[in-house]
Amino acid sequence: MTRFTIHSLIVGILLTAGCGRVTPVDEIDVASSGIKLKELAARADSTANWPVWRGPNGNGIAPDQTLPTTWSETDGILWRTDVPGRGHGSPIVVGDQILLATALSKEQKQLVLAYDRNTGDERWRYVVHENGFPSSREVHQKGSNANGTVASDGQRAYIAFFNSGKVTATAVDLEGNEVWRTELGAFNSKFGFAPSPILYKSFVIFAVDNRGGGYIAAVDSESGDIAWRIARPAENSHSTPAIANLNGKDQMLISGCHKVVSYDPATGDENWSTNCTTETTCGTIVAGNDKLFASGGWPDKQTICLTGTGDKVWDNQTKVYEPSMLLDGENLFAVSDDGIAWCRAADSGDMRWKKRLGGTFSSSPMLCNGNLYASNLSGETFVFKASADGYEQVAVNRLGSDCYASPAVSLGRIFVRIGIGAGSDRREQLVCIGTHDEK
């Protein structure tokens, strides 16, 4: 049975069941698009740049560097600047600029913002969309209209927004000028759009799972033309894919829609699919040593380890829903939504230790110099050792009122997007934590 036939059957079932607006996906393959994947020049020093969601390697691990472990509202802060509107996308670092996406609800504007990494001064802003915002019932009360993290290859910055009933990808140069804009497809929203773009050579890849008919599209980074687009199940899920080399092969991995699937990022062809996790996941898969790890979600829960060919190694009935996990050698670390930090043996899934930190978590942990950094929705960042021997706290630092976004790291500095205040008085800031000496 072909991929198109399977998707048509799914569409028919959903139409019969009356589950809402279904929009069949027009698939595109690389043969018909004529877009060729190209190798790009090596990116700049990874210690200076944090160019995509979860950092240089998309796994939440920062290259070793001298990084602060303690700070407060007044100590260890190099600068802080107000961010207009609201967004849960994390900052990225590209050269001497910090980029992030935001949304102004009253004005109905979705923007990309750029700040000077040394001073926090705003360099430029580009309004990607004006008007066309979804209704309040189409966005989760905990979400925003700018959930995704910007990605950059050092030449351009890429972002996708849900606007006017569809998801549109946009590229701007690093001076804030639009380069291209491409409509990826329709989006039947249950809770809003969340995934971030990822980069694979000359392709920018966008996952758009949704209950009207999901899809993943690879776009040529220079022209904005769609190189390939594949259909996914018509189910609600929010995970950003991960690129990993497993068993000697580059694989694009994504959880959600009741399965973990591996695709060839060059073509979109499916390598394998394993029924697991649940319908809705948010976290990004982590991988290493020819194994991968996924967790979620709603309405069921599961944490699972698979081989690079999709065979189950171990699983259990626990979940890490919004945050992503982190793999450090033989140890799998996580902080769950309800504030439980834990460490499991990667090869067996055996629990090495767990510790209640307190609070609830949406952001994903970051690892640097053997320390894990994890921020909760009360404005606390827990710093603890990435050790299998037990929970060893280094510090607890309070900054602002909440933190939905994950940190970016560059040259000994931590860049965080925080909320200050609550309700209608809530506002956001971008904060630089570090010392005055960059090494």
> What is the pLDDT, as a whole number, of residue 41?
78
| pLDDT-derived band at 163, boundaries 50, 70, 90 | very high
Q: What is the mean pLDDT of the chain?
A: 93
**What is the DSSP-derived secondary structure letter of residue 210?**
B
pLDDT of residue 43: 63
Beta carbons of 185 and 117 less than 8 angstroms apart? no
* Average confidence (pLDDT) over 409-436: 95
Q: Among 103, 276, 278, 114, which Cα is nearest to 193's?
A: 103
Structure tokens at 206: 């966008």
Residue 206's pLDDT is 98
Query: In sequence order, what DSSP letters do the residues of 260-273 get, joined into one string?
Result: EEEE-TTT--EEEE
Res. 405: pLDDT tops 90:
yes
In the chain, the percentage of residues whose pLDDT exceeds 90 is: 88
Digit-coded pLDDT (tens) for 168-194: 999 999 999 999 999 999 999 999 999
Task: Give the confidence band of 354 by pLDDT, cuts at 50, 70, 90.
Answer: very high
Task: For residue range 261-299, list pLDDT tens digits in order.
Answer: 999 999 999 999 999 999 999 999 999 999 999 999 899
Residue 5 has pLDDT above 60, yes or no: no
Mean pLDDT of 8-34: 70
192/380 Cα distance (integer angstroms) = 26
In this prediction, residues 45-62 reach a mean pLDDT of 92
Q: Strand order of the sheet with strand 331-335?
A: 326-328, 331-335, 340-345, 351-356
21 versus 277: which is more confidently predicted? Answer: 277
Q: What is the pLDDT of residues 204-244, one digit of tens each?
A: 999 999 999 999 999 999 999 999 999 999 999 999 999 99
What's the rounded mean pLDDT across residues 29-50? 86
Which amino acid makes up residue 313?
Answer: V
Q: Which contiguous run of DSSP H or E holds residue 5? A: helix 3-17
Q: Which residue type sits at 40?
A: L
Contacts of 418 by beta carbon, 8 Å cutoff, 6+ apart? 379, 399, 400, 401, 402, 403, 405, 428, 429, 431
Query: 13 pLDDT exceeds 50?
Result: no
Please give the domain boundaries of the chain with CATH numbers for all domains. Answer: 3-433 (2.130.10.10)
Please give the pLDDT value at position 14: 41
pLDDT tens readout for residues 302-351: 999 999 999 999 999 999 999 999 999 999 999 999 999 999 999 999 99
| Tens-place pLDDT, residues 361-370 | 999 999 999 9
- 8 Å CB contact between 401 and 418: yes
State the pLDDT at residue 2. Answer: 44
